[in-house]
A and B are shown apart, each in its own frame.
Chain A
Amino acid sequence: MIPLDQLALGEKAEIEQIETDFLPLKLIEMGCLPGNSISLIQKAPFSDPLYLKIDESHLAIRKETAQHIFVRLIK
């Protein structure tokens, strides 16, 4: 299990655990929930923000938020 900000470009993973208190409800409602698939599409310079595909939503979040989402790589 690794924090989301350590995911490499193009890697696919599954959300394992989220620290609810540090995440906006909006992110959770957009599909950032344990069990959903997640992949990193693009990083802005300095790896921040991150452009993700979470479940079927495409969205960007900052690195500091990504550190509260833990994922497991899928081969």
Chain B
Amino acid sequence: MSRSLNIALLGNPNTGKTSVFNRLTGLTQKVGNYPGITVEKKEGICKLNRTTKAHLIDLPGTYSLNASSMDESVVIELLLNKNSKDFPDVAVVVADVENLKRNLLLFTQVKDLGIPTLLVINMADQMKRKGITLDLKLLEKRLDTKIALVSTRENQGLDQLKALLLNYRKLSTKPTIDLSTIDKPYFENLKVTFPNQQLYKLWLVITQDVNFAKIDRKRVSDATNFKTQSESELKRLQQKETVKRYQFINEILKEGLLIDRDSATDLRSRLDRILIHKFWGYIIFFLILMTVFQSIFDWSSIPQDFIDTSFAALSEYAKTNLPEGVFTSLLAEGIIPGLGGIIIFIPQIAFLFFFISILEETGYMSRVVFLMDRGLRRFGLSGKSVIPLISGTACAIPAVMATRNIENWKERLITILVTPFTTCSARLPVYAILIALVIPQGSFLGLNYQGLMLMFLYLVGFGMALISAWILSKTLKINSKSYFVVEMPNYKLPLLKNVGITVWEKTRTFVTEAGKIILAISILLWVMASYGPGKDFSEAESIVTELYSDLEGEALSNKINAYQLEHSYIGILGKAIEPAISPLGYDWKIGIALISSFAAREVFVGTLATIYSVESDAEETIKNRMASEVRANGQPLFNLASGISLMLFYAFAMQCMSTLAIVKKETNSWKWPMVQLFGMSLLAYIVAFSTYQILA
């Protein structure tokens, strides 16, 4: 008979907890969200033996059970809620061999909740190099648990871990420290009032602001009466508790852990000397960014061209080989171009997440936070805003979520508000196709114009993020305590498996999430473009034949299609907004693409593809089709002025429903997403207008 048990993985950030999770679950994992909040929930299945399957949850990294962020409160909420279907049968605390002392703090807290708790000491491969010796027998005895010594890098110790997990029932659930010794009268009183409750659990409920599941809240609500203590008094008790825990840990480690400092080689200080140097540190950071952006553009262009031409061919194939009818036309003119518009993103997104996850895995990102804090604070941001601003180049959604570890609310809010200015990957296809159309080939000092234009757009995005952050910091009246604590982890070679899983996960999520919207919109667009009211649409053929009696063959049928499109529902809508956008240099077809882009920017290319393929029967790539569009005066529609105006519009406008939704969730109000939607879009209009008027 097969059994299943719940396992929760806990641990400080940078301990390789996620590597342990990846080793145990591989690609069985799935990423979702905790209900109601946007904290990422990673789950996976691990086969412990032939009959036992384990359901693993990789909880967000936390230094202790005293939550200071939303991510961390998820951990406590789960551990305190016995009724949750995810409540662990056994908790695994992952510790890094080099920071054992600090990692054990979390271990003692988890164990004190009365949950069977197992200790994993990771990075065992580092022990020799760092001159570390452990007395595992003694540690197991004194910590009253079982320990698995693991190296995720060398794939060692995981079988032992699985064996220990199978025997989790034998783990002791006795608390490690006696809380009542911290403040006798206070805790004795607590014990008397709630004789049936775990003392540490009560204490956590009193000190944390956690949203408990209803049942639990009722049970412990009386405990909140103990909040009569002042906040600073509670904090003093928490400090005493921390001291108490460290005393317990230090005594154990004095005997169980031996570090021979002489044999330790120090990669950290050597690398730090260069990477966070007052001058060279910034140069290196800038060079890294340059390399990343250049390679994203260069490397992805080959697969993207391939995808672009393949989808044009596929659409043509469907048209010629399937029986004619509504379905075929929906497939060939709506769904296939729409899908192509999603697939074309994959190379760029994958490369971006590849680089970002390498920067994070190596420990370099924390150095960037350190380098940039002072400078960014001038604009009302935090050093920690660097991570959202850089991840924003992939997608604003994870970037907005990455603001969570910014402790100061004002700095966090400003970061959330300005992050959508950074050039996300959804803007890339828009830029890529427009740059290819309007920026000439050629090079300046060995850098090609098209690459420079792309770089300029990235800089414009960052620049606008900083300027608006500065304005917001001067205008927003929010007082909040400024706490800034960043761990500087050891430098590590990135684990390829971790990078691979991140790239796979993020790309997959993006494609399915964005894909749904894009697909829905391209179908809607096709319907609106394929039907229209009145005679102009239904009798287009006879009207056009009469008007242009000298035309025949392909020229005639193109004219008919164009006439029909103009009088379809979408044509009517586009014509209606044309007066507003023609001063920016756009025609009504771009107007349609612009409107549909408010759902998601990446829809732009797909929309044009759908409109054009409804209009023309010829097999052509989107780019060629765009290049042949002309204005009434015979000039190409996409020229330098209209192209740059359009790119700047996309650089500044808030065109992403998903981002608005996530900002609403994170700020808990519609006010801020609305500020973004109207503020950014107005700015975009003004900038695009002035650009076109000056250049044209």
Residues of A at the B interface (CB closer than 8 Å) are 20-21, 24-31, 33, 41-42, 44-46, 48-49, 51, 55-62, 64-65
Contacts and interface: CB of A to CB of B under 8 A. Distances in A.
Given A42-B276, A58-B268, A29 B63 contact: yes
Interface stretch (B194-202, B368-376, B607-615): B368-376
B482 interface: yes
B493 interface: no
B675 interface: no
A28 B241 CA distance: 11
B276 A51 contact: yes
Nearest to A58: B488
B374 A48 contact: yes
A45 B484 CA distance: 17
Nearest to B207: A25
By secondary structure, the A interface counts as mixed
5 contacts: A25-B68, A49-B370, A49-B373, A57-B99, A60-B366
B483 interface: yes
Given A58-B490, A60-B486, 6 more contacts: A25-B238, A27-B483, A29-B64, A30-B102, A58-B268, A61-B485
Given A20-B239, A46-B374, A48-B373, A30 B232 contact: no
A56 B485 CA distance: 15
Contacts of A44: 276, 278, 370-371, 373-374
Contact of A20 (B232, B370, B373, B490): B232
Contact of A24 (B98, B99, B483): B483
B470 to A, nearest CB: 18
Nearest to B490: A58
B74 interface: no
B285 to A, nearest CB: 12
Contact of A33 (B68, B243, B269): B243
Contact of B485 (A24, A41, A42, A46): A24
A31 B489 CA distance: 15
A24 B72 CA distance: 15
A30 B485 contact: yes
B242 A56 contact: no
Given A20-B232, A20-B236, A65-B483, A51 B242 contact: no
A29 to B, nearest CB: 5
B407 interface: yes
Nearest to B278: A45
Contacts, number: 108
Nearest to B366: A60
Nearest to B272: A42
A30 B63 contact: yes
A61 B488 contact: no
B353 to A, nearest CB: 26
Nearest to A47: B374
Contacts of A59: 485-488
Interface string B237-254: 011001100100000000
A49 to B, nearest CB: 5
Given A41-B272, A42-B276, A51 B488 contact: yes
B486 A21 contact: no
Contacts of B243: 33
Interface size for chain B: under 10, 10 to 19, 20 to 34, or 35 or more residues?
35 or more
A20 B482 CA distance: 14
B383 interface: yes
Contacts of A64: 482
A55 B243 CA distance: 13
A57 B103 CA distance: 10
A58 B487 contact: yes
B66 interface: yes
A57 B374 contact: no
A25 B68 CA distance: 8
A31 B373 contact: no
Contact of B488 (A20, A24, A26, A60): A60
B105 interface: yes
B484 A62 contact: yes
A23 to B, nearest CB: 8
Contacts of B366: 60
B235 interface: yes
Given A26-B64, A45-B374, A51-B276, A33 B246 contact: yes
A38 B64 CA distance: 21
Contacts of B488: 51, 58-60
Interface in B240-290: 242-243, 246, 268-269, 272, 276, 278
Contact of A65 (B68, B101, B484): B484
Nearest to A34: B243
Interface string B482-504: 11111111100000000000000
A33 B374 contact: no
Contacts of B232: 20-21
B479 to A, nearest CB: 15
A24 B240 CA distance: 14
Contacts of B98: 56
A27 B485 contact: yes
A-B interface, 3 closest residue pairs, ranked by CB to CB distance from nearest: A24-B483, A58-B488, A60-B486
A8 B485 CA distance: 20
A26 B101 CA distance: 15
Nearest to A43: B278
B259 to A, nearest CB: 9
A15 to B, nearest CB: 12
B383 A49 contact: yes
Given A20-B235, A20-B239, A56 B99 contact: yes
A61 B68 CA distance: 16
A55 B100 CA distance: 12
B91 to A, nearest CB: 18
B370 A60 contact: yes
B68 A49 contact: no
B624 to A, nearest CB: 51
